[in-house]
Amino acid sequence: MAVLPVVKYPHPMLTTPAKEVMEITDDILELLDDMYETMVANDGIGIAAPQVNQSLRIALVEIDEETGLFEMINPQIIKTSGKTIDVEGCLSFPEIFGTVERADTIVLNYFDRNGDAYEVEAEDYLARVFQHELEHLEGKLFTDKIIQSILPEDLETYMEENIK
């Protein structure tokens, strides 16, 4: 396993829709492992293949041990409901944070590394992270959705004042 370089904005891969994975090969399995190592090494909770310069519809999310790791191949959101605004950041935009409106609850489906199909309903923070990562696969950036920018030095104070 290897830690891959994370591409930073304005790299064109970040704004290019990713290609569907047609077959789960040894290279795809290695990419999943490398993406996980890269996410952990960068203190991330999610990463999408375009962020490691791969135009593939692959994303990983792991917000904590309880929720576990989601390795998603060809994921797609099939239902959304509700709206909520919260703070986001991104490995491809170091030191940029801002509030973004997203669906509060989503249903998505995807394939795992074994080719097994899953349908997951997620809400709140997990739903937010899924949406953020899946937008990377569409070539969309969270910075285009920022309602209020938050300076890195103000992030901790903002979080303390706005935790519900």
**The pLDDT value given to residue 162:** 84
Identify whether 138 is a catalytic site residue: no
Among 62, 88, 133, 135, the one annotated catalytic: 133
**The pLDDT value given to residue 23:** 98
* Tens digits of residue pLDDT in 54-78: 999 999 999 999 999 999 999 999 9
**The pLDDT value given to residue 143:** 97
State which residues of the chain have pLDDT below 70.
163-164
* Direct distance between the N- and C-terminal alpha carbons of the chain, in angstroms, rounded to an integer: 39
**The pLDDT value given to residue 164:** 55
Pairing outcome for strands 84-88 and 58-61: unpaired
Write out the H or E segment, with its range, that includes residue 106.
strand 105-111
